[in-house]
Amino acid sequence: MVYGGYSYLDLDYEPGKEDFVVLFYISGKYELEKLAEAVASESSVGTWTDIKTMNDYVFKHYRARVFKILKVRENEGFVYIAYPMEHFDLKNFNQFQASVLGNIFGMKEIESLYVLDIKFPEKYQKLFKGPAVGLDGIRKYVGTDKSGRPHVGTIVKPKVGLTPKEFAEVAYKAWANGLDLVKDDENLVDQDFCKWEERFNEVYDAMDRAEKETGENKIYCVNITDSSIERMVERVEKVVERGHNCVMLDVYVLGFTALNYMLEITRKHKLIVHAHRAGYAAWHRGNYGVNFQILEKLYRMFGVDQLHIGTGVGKMEGGALLIKRMHELAEFMEGEEKFYLGSMDFSFSEHIKPIMPVASGGLDPTKVDALVVIHGNNVTIQAGGGVHGHPNGTESGARALRLAAEAVVEGVSVKEYAEKHEELKKAIEKWGYVNPEDVKKRLEFESYREELDRLALSKGIEFIKNVAWHI
């Protein structure tokens, strides 16, 4: 089996510690071995035909190797490909992206191509600085490093349209009634009705007032995302001038080049970087895609401090099994050997700090018990509509969300806590109660991992999507 005159199959090869390993799911018009070789060729040294300029040294040292194939059907299955570190421009992640996540998606013999996971060698990870603050630093700042309670926050709603003073008043009500964090939404930056600098100053004043009244440190994730690097840097400078310590970036739409540049700027000031993932699903949904766990690894390596990873119980896609995996990637250091429905074993380099996972999208106080089953207590629970949509308004919604987080620490269910707290009772009357036992039952599927893996290998990626991504 050859592609373009050369064979990229090397089923006896064992990846070295400096190899990048990529797990693909591939289907197409030809048998899987040929499709795998096409991907390996196009993403490394080859092309569609044999060439007179190829030499033994190039082919031996720089080619990708297909070292493992798990067939679901003759023309469909899981493919493991190893890439030598020498193939890449290590100071330039865009070159890696163009190689491994580039032209291969346009090859007409491929009918579906999904990149499930990537293992980044430790030597490569050491080229990245990782988070400046990270999970532990955020907890220490907020003052929850001893209690360990979940952080609670909100997104000001409506997400666009409010004036700076209106926005700041909503933020103040949220902070003054117990929330740790208020953030801009992903599509609010510097519109005429709510200019960035005026909004930031108004909200900072509101935050300062709430901190003095509550005796608690608060966080404002002000969105500095822009198509102009200069404007983003100017906003960082204004944040630092006022003594604040957090900015928000729409990391996917920025792209890795702008993100890396801005993280170098924010790192100098030890700012918390709140990473919103708006737009990532375009790279992930359908027959062609890249799993978010790859982006999550990269964002943590690049150095964001808290990252939206999904909820498992809210309005956004992603079942409990999938989101639990995403949480593990935010918090853990050491991996374990497992197929895990499309995940490979993986360990972060020791210097790459854990980050704060953010659960956001369709949440409210009644879902906190269920969220904690998936995420544990190391999570920021963000509710927009679930705070401002409370029957008694933002103040009661904020108190209800904080009460739910405190109930978790006390080991009491939100439903039981609601018997003595009117704000929670009203929330349950409006939104119902998500029973954490239902989520626990979904997570029980993990105990059948060997059977799930067997089914994944017999039924393919649609089984993984239906089980890991929706249960």
User: Nearest Cα to 129, choosing from 259, 274, 257, 304?
Assistant: 304
Instruction: Calculate Rg over the CA atoms of the chain.
Output: 24
Q: 54 φ, ψ to 5°? A: -70, 140
- CA-CA distance, 79 to 113, in Å (whole number)? 10
Distance of alpha carbon 348 from its chain centroid, rounded? 15
Active site residue 173: no
Catalytic residue (one of 151, 157, 327, 426): 157
Catalytic residue among 68, 244, 274, 276: 276
- Shortest CA distance to 304 belongs to which of 252, 375, 355? 355
- Residue 306's DSSP bridge partners are 274, 356
Q: Residue 37 has what DSSP assignment?
A: H
SS3 337: coil
In degrees to the nearest 10, what's the CA dihedral of 445, 446, 449, 453?
70
Tokens of 324: 């639990």
The verdict on whether omega for the bond into residue 158 sits within 30 degrees of 0, i.e. cis, is: yes
Q: Which amino acid is at 108?
A: K
The separation between CA 242 and the C-alpha centre of its own chain, rounded to angstroms, equals 29
Write down the H helix ranges in 308-421. 320-331, 368-375, 385-388, 394-410, 414-417
SS3 call for 40: helix
Active-site residue, 351 included: no
Catalytic residue numbers read 157, 276
